[in-house]
């Protein structure tokens, strides 16, 4: 197992190099002049333009820019934003926000999703099952920012249960509503996945055998069926941990949470190369690690899967 993990971590190095280069190329090769874009409809004095170009290495060829960026990366320098702040500093205050939001959403997704899925599967064809199916279809169909604004109006303004926006009330108060909104799509997906997988396994021979030999029904469902049925769900939840961190962009924008997603949203708008590349590098790392955790978990859920041959 140790060797397997070490090998997987080594694989992450070329993945990181390739992704940072691709993102770098895509961000920097775009035509146009980000400094001019910042100034809007006003011309920028030539001397100011020259200075800002020099400061952000905008005139260097792509390979030189990338080399300078990698050099900086090795010494812990992620570059500077267009307002002159080091990217590393801006990230330092932000990743906790995104992590809190992502984990809150992930937790809600796991608990609510699996619970709803099991409930629907055990009541197949009855109103509870139909309600879950209809509800999840609706949630999957509605874009997340609409869910977000509606939730703000309902729970923040009308009912006053949660703060409308901002992270100032701290965890958990400030994170529950955005967490729920961010999780909404995943909850629906996990619930449907759990339901389908559980239903399939409930028809299996070994379940009938377990029931026939007199095991209590809850034991049959929880120990025998659910454990097997959770393998596709765990796969989804593992990858979802990475996507939640990355997918927080819209939620952080709507709920005004000062996290990484909000930053990347603004950086893309302003074409701030270093910020975009720095954040994506971090996200690629999270993705690699999440995938590794999922693969290790498979072995625990299903003893037939072995990593060291």
Partner 1 sequence: MLTARAGRLPAALLALALLAVAGSAAAGCVRRSDEDPGPVPDVPGGTFTVALTEPDHLTPGRTTSSYSLQVLEGLFDTPLALDPADGHAVPLAAESISTDDQRVWTLHFRPGARFHNGEPVTAASYADAWNAAAYGPNGWEANGYFSQIDGYAALNPADGAKPPTDRLSGLEVVDDSTLKVTLGAPFSQFPMLLAFPAFAPLPKAAFADPAGYDLHPVGNGPFAMDGDWRHQQRIDLRRAGGYTGPRPATADGVHFRIFTSKDTAFTELRAGHVDFMASVPPSRAYEAKRTFGKRYSVRPSGTMDYLGLPLWDTRYAKPELRQAISMAIDRRGITRAIFNEVFAPADSLVAGMIPGHRAGACGETCEYRPERAKELFDRAGGFTGTLELYFANSDPTYEQWMTAVANELKQNLGIRAIAFRKMSGADLGPILNGHKATGPYRQNWVVDYPSVQNYLAGLLGPNNRSGWSDPAFDRALALGNAAPTAAESEEHYHEAESIALRALPLIPLWNWQDQTAWSSRIGNVLVDPYVAGLHLEKVTVRH
- Long-range interactions of 264-272: CB distance < 8 A, separation 24+: 267/81, 270/34, 270/37, 270/38, 270/82, 271/27, 271/30, 271/32, 271/34, 271/37, 272/34, 272/81, 272/82
Indicate left, alpha or beta for 204 from its phi (over 0: left) and psi (-120 to 50: alpha).
beta
Minimum gap (Å) between residue 168 Cβ and partner 1 = 7
Minimum gap (Å) between residue 173 Cβ and partner 1 = 6
Half-sphere exposure of 151 (CA within 13 A, CB side): 25
- Which of residues 4 and 119 has its CB atom nearest to partner 1 in the complex? 119
CA distances from 304 to 28, 201, 288, 294 (A): 47, 17, 24, 15
Minimum gap (Å) between residue 98 Cβ and partner 1 = 13
Is residue 148 within 8 Å of 101, Cβ to Cβ? Answer: no
- Which of residues 75 and 83 has its CB atom nearest to partner 1 in the complex? 83
- Which of residues 116 and 188 has its CB atom nearest to partner 1 in the complex? 116
Minimum gap (Å) between residue 231 Cβ and partner 1 = 19
- Which of residues 64 and 153 has its CB atom nearest to partner 1 in the complex? 153
Helix (H) or strand (E) holding 23: helix 2-29
Minimum gap (Å) between residue 112 Cβ and partner 1 = 6
Is residue 242 within 8 Å of 261, Cβ to Cβ? Answer: no
**What is d(CA 187, CA 84) in angstroms, rounded to the nearest whole number?**
40
Indicate left, alpha or beta for 162 from its phi (over 0: left) and psi (-120 to 50: alpha).
beta
153 is written with which tokens? 């109006």
Minimum gap (Å) between residue 109 Cβ and partner 1 = 11
- Which of residues 257 and 284 has its CB atom nearest to partner 1 in the complex? 257
- Which of residues 99 and 292 has its CB atom nearest to partner 1 in the complex? 99
- Which of residues 19 and 263 has its CB atom nearest to partner 1 in the complex? 263
Minimum gap (Å) between residue 119 Cβ and partner 1 = 4
């Amino acid at each position: 197992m140790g060797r397997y993990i070490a090998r997987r971590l080594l694989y992450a190095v070329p993945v990181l190099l390739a992704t940072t280069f691709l993102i770098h190329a895509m961000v920097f090769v775009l035509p146009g002049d980000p400094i001019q874009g910042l100034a809007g409809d006003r011309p920028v004095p030539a001397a100011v333009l020259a200075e800002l170009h020099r400061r952000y290495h905008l005139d260097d060829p792509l390979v030189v820019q990338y080399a300078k960026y990698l050099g900086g990366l090795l010494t812990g320098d992620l570059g500077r934003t267009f307002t002159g702040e080091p990217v590393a500093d801006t990230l330092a205050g932000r990743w906790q926000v995104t992590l809190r939001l992502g984990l809150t959403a992930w937790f809600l997704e796991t608990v609510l999703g699996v619970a709803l899925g099991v409930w629907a599967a055990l009541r197949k064809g009855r109103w509870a099952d139909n309600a879950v199916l209809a509800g999840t279809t609706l949630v999957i169909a509605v874009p997340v920012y609409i869910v977000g604004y509606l939730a703000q109006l309902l729970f923040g303004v009308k009912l006053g249960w949660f703060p409308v926006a901002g992270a100032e009330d701290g965890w958990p108060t400030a994170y529950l509503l955005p967490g729920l909104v961010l999780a909404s799509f995943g909850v629906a997906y996990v619930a449907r996945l759990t339901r389908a997988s559980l239903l399939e396994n409930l028809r299996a021979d070994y379940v009938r055998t377990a029931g026939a030999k007199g095991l209590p029904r809850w034991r049959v469902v929880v120990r025998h069926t659910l454990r097997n049925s959770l393998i596709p769900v765990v796969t989804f939840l593992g990858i979802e941990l990475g996507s939640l961190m990355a997918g927080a962009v819209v939620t952080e924008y709507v709920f005004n949470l000062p996290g990484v997603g909000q930053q990347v949203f603004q950086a893309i708008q302003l074409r701030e190369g270093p910020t975009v590349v720095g954040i994506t590098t971090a996200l690629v790392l999270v993705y690699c690690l999440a995938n590794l955790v999922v693969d290790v978990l498979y072995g625990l859920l299903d003893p037939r899967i072995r990593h060291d041959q």
